[in-house]
Structure 1
Amino acid sequence: MPWNERMSSVLLLFASLLAIMIPETQQGPHEKLLLNNLLATYNVLERPVANESDPLEVKFGLTLQQIIDVDEKNQILTTNAWLNLDEKNQLLITNIWLSLEWNDYNLRWNESDYGGVKDLRITPNKLWKPDVLMYNSADEGFDGTYQTNVVVKHNGSCLYVPPGIFKSTCKIDITWFPFDDQHCDMKFGSWTYDGNQLDLVLNSEEGGDLSDFITNGEWYLLGMPGKKNTIVYQCCPEPYVDVTFTIQIRRRTLYYFFNLIVPCVLISSMALLGFTLPPDSGEKLTLGVTILLSLTVFLNLVAETLPQVSDAIPLLGTYFNCIMFMVASSVVLTVVVLNYHHRTADIHEMPQWIKSVFLQWLPWILRMSRPGKKITRKTIMMNSRMKEMELKERSSKSLLANVLDIDDDFRSVSGATGAGNSTINTNLGAGFLRNAATIEDSSLPGSGNQRDLQLILKELQFITNRMKKADEEAEVISDWKFAAMVVDRFCLIIFTLFTIVATVAVLLSAPHIIVQ
């Protein structure tokens, strides 16, 4: 005997033994008879009421399961398989169980007549069921429910619990992003029956059932209240009843706090440290530009997760714009600092207002001082008075005396000391003329020694003037460099205060800070 035939015989023998060991079961005829009697004259188009003028009451309930995942690449927020919030397209995708309960007048029987059969499971296409749909559906098929059996009891009570995935439009408010709360409505109602024919009633006054809800890592469910509405639309004079569930969710901000806000604060602090970097290092401007580009990248990451609407500016975007404005201003002021630091006396002359502001008042306010020069209010006032006295003295001299930088020897002075001053001025004038005559005589032939002395005198005067000019230029360069240091210190303090105030203001203005 072939091996296949041998195995077939063994299996047949084993099946015969099982048939002998297991007792035979007989299916009762009561359920079949009941179905035949109920559905023989049943019309699926007939509204099952005893009186056609009475509305059929349908109890409506909703059970929410879970919040799922975020698909940022496709700009879809899929809250963990069950609740999906598409922020770009402003869609709410939910996996829920609907609960429809009504009483069918035509599906009643006496259980004692049918062997104690209390309930039946019948496919919905053989029974009348309410055409309840979601009004704000965004699904391609409009209805995303899965057709399940209807549980029918002997008193005519019908329970229909179809699970499904629903896509509904949802207005996303990004004003407080990422510290935002979203309220998404799901509006259910009969599509063809008005309120006089079908009356929807909430199954529970608390709203949706959240007993089976599984927590999500990005969204925290606040609640899902329900409300019954009766509205008269422009198309029809009859009132239409709907039940609206509002899914209230709050964004968990821990991810955004540590991945967007904290890096932004750290990057802005690096921009502040740029003011402490010496201008001679050559990296002062490069650091500011690099930080500005980094903030731009972070701002683009925020923009990718938000809908492209102009209704409101998100709170995080406002904060990033403030920090970017601060960093951009720091780059501009860094250019000013470098300009001041590298100025020379032969190209730029320091104006008087810059000397007064950046060399006197601001260093005194910021408690800055130069080596060997202590800046106090008293020294500032003394310097101002000395400059005023110098201007008055120069204005009282003659033109020749100002040009030669000597006392005015050629002007008579009246008054009580006029005679003494006239004598002194006359002697000084005579000495000045005598020196001029000596210089003229030194140019005559035969006066070689005097000519050599005159050349030596000129060389000494040239060297002295050159050294004096070099000292003056070095002092001017030092003044410009100190002015650059003052601007750096002033910007460091101002921008530090701006960053702290902006950060605290953003955090305090948010409805909530951190939801774990």
Structure 2
Amino acid sequence: MWRAYRVWNLIIIIIGYHVRWCSGSSSDDIVNLHDSLFKNYRNNVRPVRNQHHAVHVNISFNIIMIHDLDLKNQVLTTNAWLRIAWKDEFLTWNASDFHNVTEILVSRGEVWTPDLLVENTAFGYRELGIDKMLLNLDHEGQIIWEPGLITQTICEVNIAKYPFDSQHCSIRVMSWMHTNRSLQVSVASNSIDTTNYYPNGEWDLVNTCVRAFSPEDGSYNVGEILPGAEAIIELRRRPVYYIISTILPISMLSLLNVLVFMLPTNTGEKMTLAVTVLLSFTVFMSVVNEVMPKTSNSVSILAVYLTILLTMSGLSVASTVLVLHFHHHADMNASPSHLMNDVRNSRVYKTQRSHSINNNRCRKGSGIGKSEAIPSTEKLLEDYMEVEDSEDQARSEINVCCRKLRTKLENWQKRRKRRVLGREFAEKLDRALFCTVTVLTLGSTVIVMILLIYW
């Protein structure tokens, strides 16, 4: 019984080993296949037996992540990988000769690879992949190469609708030396594969397009164009952050710019508010300019809007200076000091004062009536306006004094009238500027919002 069990066990092992040998392959098979393929192989020769024929290369793009789009330097940074496939006519074998080995992995340095690189790179050219990178090779000579790359490509941005802008950037992979007479490039799909795409917090990936360069794309004849493939990426900015951090503060400042003209002049804070708003607009202008590229190809509507608001804020400061000038020069509630001194030092005032004092003493001694008040300076000025010239020599000095004071008083009243008119003009100017700035601010804001969102 024990012998029968051992015999059956040995038979099963032999059968299993025979099945494994027939259906599988060993490392010796891979080594023998590798030695057979690369015994006389040259990786600097195009993999076609007829060198007059072109090598057909198929490219597909796979994007992983959009790292950043630098508007100031106009550089797009992406993380992606390519799937490049072509047929090598020198690397084919009969799978049955090597125990059904249908595909193997080879290093990039062992086989011929197309001299592809990113053509529109922003920081120097670099060949795709490394020599130790593995490629997949099947028994029909089909090679699949999947190099990963982090690209920094030039992207000409359009900042007109910032921060509601959309950008179209491209990644161009082209041959460095081969023309389309010796190398022809096609694309596996008309769009980028976004299966492994990780969303970006600032940009939405709206649409993609992949196309190959053909002789119709240029003005050269066949054989004079460097073949390649171009992946076009359409990005749309997510504006929520910029609405909160930029648009809303600018709108509030534009409202404060209007309220400058509603602030009463007597408060003394009119100029302070106007200058503060002007400085705030200057700060926001600096922030926006730090993001924008220094180019004249396109001008940001938001920057133009800020310039308009900054100009109106500067004009509001200048107009506030005029309003305050007219207002404070129109404050004439009290008589001018030099005119009051002339009145108090005049003989008329002294005579009138002594006469009033004597009358008060007489009335006080007799106990009749109340004391008569000494006339005020303002009252005396009004009396001077009614004094008529006298031919009496005794009053000649008084008449001369009255005429001088009356002339000064007339001039002062004319100046006061002009200043009162100036004060009224300042109030009307304030109201007119309030209406004008309000209309301009609302109009420019509505136009800018329509252009940014719907244009």
Q: CA deviation at 1:47?
A: 1.5
Q: CA deviation at 1:97?
A: 0.3
Q: CA deviation at 1:462?
A: 10
Structure 2: unaligned runs, 5 residues or longer:
1-20, 333-384
Secondary structure of the residue that 2:83 maps to in structure 1? strand
* Equivalent residues, number: 374
Secondary structure of the residue that 2:66 maps to in structure 1? coil
Q: What residue in structure 1 maps to residue 165 of structure 2?
A: 180
Equivalent pair of 2:180/2:222 in contact (CA under 8 Å): no
Question: Aligned partners of 2:43, 2:128: CA distance in 1, in Å?
Answer: 22
Shift in alpha-carbon separation, 1:497–1:327, aligned structure 2, 3 A: same
Amino acid at match of 1:93: T
Deviates more, 1:315-324 or 1:46-55: 46-55
Equivalent pair of 2:326/2:419 in contact (CA under 8 Å): no
Instruction: Provide the TM-score with structure 1 as the length reference.
Output: 0.66
1:289 to 264, 271, 275: 275
Q: CA deviation at 1:263?
A: 0.7
Q: CA deviation at 1:176?
A: 2.4
Shift in alpha-carbon separation, 1:144–1:106, aligned structure 2, 3 A: closer
Shift in alpha-carbon separation, 1:234–1:141, aligned structure 2, 3 A: same
Question: Aligned partners of 2:426, 2:159: CA distance in 1, in Å?
Answer: 43
Q: What residue in structure 2 maps to residue 190 of structure 1?
A: 175
Q: CA deviation at 1:143?
A: 2.9
Secondary structure of the residue that 2:158 maps to in structure 1? coil
Q: What residue in structure 2 maps to residue 58 of structure 1?
A: 57
Q: CA deviation at 1:466?
A: 9.2
Q: What residue in structure 2 maps to residue 37 of structure 1?
A: 36
Equivalent pair of 1:302/1:317 in contact (CA under 8 Å): yes
Equivalent pair of 1:345/1:473 in contact (CA under 8 Å): no
Matched, 1:267 2:267: no
Question: Aligned partners of 2:106, 2:56: CA distance in 1, in Å?
Answer: 21
Matched, 1:243 2:229: yes
Percent of paired sites with the same residue: 29
Q: How does 1:401-420 map to 2 (within 5 A)?
A: none
Q: How does 1:30-429 map to 2 (within 5 A)?
A: 30-68=29-67, 79=68, 85-143=69-127, 145-146=129-130, 148-205=133-190, 207-231=191-215, 238-344=224-330
Q: CA deviation at 1:512?
A: 5.1
Amino acid at match of 1:44: N
Question: Aligned partners of 1:108, 1:220: CA distance in 2, in Å?
Answer: 45
Q: What residue in structure 1 maps to residue 447 of structure 2?
A: 505
Secondary structure of the residue that 1:63 maps to in structure 2? strand
Secondary structure of the residue that 1:209 maps to in structure 2? coil
Question: Aligned partners of 1:345, 1:127: CA distance in 2, in Å?
Answer: 96
Shift in alpha-carbon separation, 1:218–1:487, aligned structure 2, 3 A: same
Shift in alpha-carbon separation, 1:160–1:144, aligned structure 2, 3 A: closer
Q: CA deviation at 1:123?
A: 0.3
Q: CA deviation at 1:149?
A: 0.7
Q: CA deviation at 1:230?
A: 2.4
Shift in alpha-carbon separation, 1:512–1:50, aligned structure 2, 3 A: farther
Q: What residue in structure 2 maps to residue 481 of structure 1?
A: 423
Amino acid at match of 2:137: V
Q: CA deviation at 1:311?
A: 2.8
Equivalent pair of 2:85/2:143 in contact (CA under 8 Å): yes
Amino acid at match of 1:155: E
Q: What residue in structure 1 maps to residue 336 of structure 2?
A: none
How large is the RMSD of aligned CA atoms in angstroms? 3.3
Equivalent pair of 2:330/2:420 in contact (CA under 8 Å): no
Question: Aligned partners of 2:129, 2:246: CA distance in 1, in Å?
Answer: 39
Structure 1: unaligned runs, 5 residues or longer:
1-24, 69-78, 80-84, 347-404, 406-434, 445-450
Instruction: Provide the TM-score with structure 2 as the length reference.
Output: 0.74
